[in-house]
Amino acid sequence: MSNKEDILNKYRANVRERYDMPDLSDIRAITYPDPLSQFISMSQSVGGKVVELAGRDINELVHELYPEAKEIASNLPEVTIATRNPDTVESAQALNGTDVGIIRGVFGVAENGCIWIPQTMKEKAVCFISENLVILLPKKEIVNNMHEAYRRLEFNDYGYGTFISGPSKTADIAQVLVMGAQAARSVTVVLLP
């Protein structure tokens, strides 16, 4: 048994009272007349960029958006310009220095501009270590709010997923906004038909 399991088992053994989960069926979460427009607006408000693929080739679009990029990481079959594959690198450290990471999102959330990204590659570090992140997202896969989003969560064999919303930023040191402090400096959502 792992250390993690040991710790969790100790917590479970010391739970004295258990409570049922609250009934959430009466929650009236926010909805939008046009969830896609709201998603685009929220994505931009958190510092992200949203573009439509609109019949263009994803490889050409990435070259257009990031002309200086030399190291591109992706395991997506349609991305033929990738110089690194997060499924075949020896370790997560091999993705250090990635200029652009290209990943696929399952659905977006209009309420806050988040995108659900389940781990679909051996090294999930590509989602966080890339200087610039490109997320492919079908534009018809936008839900209104996080209540709807949590109902749609699914995990695959990796058992990991995360919500990503815009570039990483922090202002906790001297209230100076720093982009890319913990993850990508920029996030571009490419809306697919």
Give me the domains of the chain, ranges plus CATH numbers.
30-192 (3.40.50.10420)
Distances, alpha carbon 172 to alpha carbons 16, 45, 114, 178, 185, in Å: 38, 19, 22, 9, 17
Query: In degrees rounded to 5, what are phi and psi of residue 53?
Result: -65, -40
Residue 169 has pLDDT above 80, yes or no: no
Do 81 and 72 touch, CB atoms closer than 8 A? Answer: yes
pLDDT tens readout for residues 50-91: 999 999 999 999 999 999 999 999 999 999 999 999 999 999
pLDDT exceeding 90 applies to what percent of the chain?
Answer: 70
Q: Hey, what amino acid is at 107?
A: F
Q: Which residue has the tokens 């996030």?
A: 187
Split at pLDDT 50, 70, 90, the class of 19 is confident
Split at pLDDT 50, 70, 90, the class of 163 is very high
* Threshold 0.95, pTM exceeds: no
Do 99 and 69 touch, CB atoms closer than 8 A? Answer: yes
> What is the pLDDT of the chain when averaged over all its residues?
92
Split at pLDDT 50, 70, 90, the class of 177 is low
> What is the pLDDT at residue 174?
74
Burial degree of 145 (CB within 10 A; 0-12, 13-18, 19+) = middle
